Amino acid sequence: MGSAMRRTLAVAALAAVPALTVVAAQPAAAATSASAATAHHALGAHATAFTGYDMVGSDGGVFVFPVGQSGGFYGSLPGLNDKVNNIIGMVGSASGKGYYLVGSDGGVFAFGDVSFAGSLPGLGDKVNNIVGIVSTGTGKGYYLVGSDGGVFAFGDAPFLQSLPGLGIHVSNVRSIITKADLSGYWLIAGDGMIYNFGTAAPYPQLTCPAGADCSSITGGAVTSTGNGLWITDNYADVFTFGDAPFLGGFNSVPISGSPSDIVSLVAPSPNDDGYFLFGADGGVFNYGTAKYAGSLPALGVHVTNVVGAVPTVSGS
């Protein structure tokens, strides 16, 4: 769990961030292959009235909240009798009526109103370091990112470069966040470094005090304007950039009273006035206008393998 001290991560000077704003380059994997199709777009500016959320486990099992709502569940891997244990995340459609699941091998599973646009196994690429997925918002494309900062663009996702393509060697990238207009994206590293591409704005690196856990960043979300970010870590600290408002977190809570298993921050509001934090145990923390709809611990369900979440709507 790292140091017992509170991680009050400070923002390093902007000058310390590499100049990584780049223009579109030749895609490394702008794939259209649909081999073996199965039955985090940045939600951006939208008018969808989300009424609940789904969580996914590493086995591809999907949990729907509120329990009993008429929508939200569009399929799961156990439901298809697919036995895996390498799902690392999910991303929803702009409508809230579909989602993608992705494995650490780059396998992609499409459910609901989203379309399969390719996968790394389908291209014959053998990897085991995929850590994030983000949708284009159209339901027709997505990005995958590896822990080395390699970016793979599928369907209508425009490729805007990657860290290996720039000669930058890392192994701690945790997620990818894209602007709603697809003109830029950010790669978020576990140590708080934020790498920007295309028109995505450069932001300072998060740094933390000596002796604290400095590798705990898990990911975040973009504001509806594309001009701000929320970033979170395992301990439910929330850090804001640009026009993202701070609505709450465990930043000022003693470490003994903080969660240590936060895996995802989801910001479903078109007004940027609410967000959720989700834990690996299926625990949920809601802030601002984000409406709590239940959690796995509250149902007496004990798990430790939740890896992601998406907002959903009721109705089919």
Q: pLDDT, tens digit, for every residue of 181-200?
A: 999 999 999 989 999 999 99
**pLDDT of 232:** 95
CATH of domain 10-312: 2.120.10.30
User: pLDDT digits over 20-48, tens only?
Assistant: 433 333 233 333 222 222 223 344 344 57
Residue 282 has pLDDT above 50, yes or no: yes
pLDDT score for 218: 94
Lowest mean pLDDT among 91-95, 168-172, 257-261, 274-278: 257-261
pLDDT of residue 252: 81
Average confidence score pLDDT of the chain: 86
Note the pLDDT of residue 145: 98
Confidence (pLDDT) at 27:
32
Burial 154-175 (b: 16+ CB within 10 A, else e): bbbbbbbbbbebeeeebebbbb
Residue % of the chain over a pLDDT of 70: 82
Rounded average pLDDT over 213-241: 92
Name the amino acid, one letter, at 20.
L
Can you tell me the distance from the alpha carbon of 85 to that of 74, in angstroms, rounded to the nearest whole number? 19
Tell me the pLDDT band of 12, cut-offs 50, 70 and 90: low
Q: Which residues contact residue 263 at a Cβ distance below 8 angstroms, ignoring those fewer than 6 apart?
A: 218, 234, 278, 279, 280, 306, 307, 308
pLDDT tens digit string along 112-155? 999 999 999 999 999 999 999 999 999 999 999 999 999 999 99
User: Distance (Å, rounded) from C-alpha 57 to C-alpha 55?
Assistant: 7
CA-based torsion, 41, 296, 313, 235: positive or negative: negative
